[in-house]
């Protein structure tokens, strides 16, 4: 559930570069943070946020966190994505803060992963060109 990138939502081909926003062309409006360069739609459905203890074993939980710190996706965490209806196709891991925060990129989506010492919280986000 949430906002997801959709590309060009127009029925007919539209030259987006020719659009103007408050008198600025598309590129200038994006650079000036007047608009996002990626268009979105609201998608209803199951929440793309879940929490997991990847089996509940303290050693396993700590091993998963340690493997994420090497920018690798642990098998146990990958299985949790699938179990929650979010199978990953070509994931890459980015370490945001060693030992506690990571970002998993998978196609047009990324997932913020946060570790609180007992479990992992996963929040799905659409990729935007603005950070």
Domain ranges of the chain: 2-43, 49-126
The residue among 43, 55, 63, 52 whose CA lies nearest residue 2 is 43
Helix, strand, or coil here: 1? coil
Whole-prediction pTM value? 0.61
SS (H, E, C) 76-130: HHHHHHHHCCCCCCCCEEEEEECCCEEEEEECCEEEEEEECCCCEEEEEEECCCC
How much of the chain exceeds pLDDT 90, in percent? 34
Give residue 42's pLDDT. 44
């Amino acid at each position: 559930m949430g906002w997801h990138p959709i590309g060009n939502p127009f029925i007919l081909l539209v030259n987006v570069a020719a659009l103007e926003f408050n008198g600025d062309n598309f590129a200038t409006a994006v650079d000036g943070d007047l608009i996002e360069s990626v268009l979105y739609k609201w998608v209803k459905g199951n929440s793309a946020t879940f929490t997991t203890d990847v089996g509940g074993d303290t050693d396993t939980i700590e091993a998963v966190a340690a493997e994420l710190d090497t920018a690798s996706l642990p098998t146990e965490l990958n299985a949790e994505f699938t179990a929650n209806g979010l199978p990953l196709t070509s994931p890459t891991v980015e370490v945001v803060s060693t030992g506690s925060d990571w970002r998993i990129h998978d196609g047009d989506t990324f997932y913020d992963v946060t570790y609180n010492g007992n479990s992992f919280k996963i929040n799905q986000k659409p990729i935007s060109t603005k950070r």
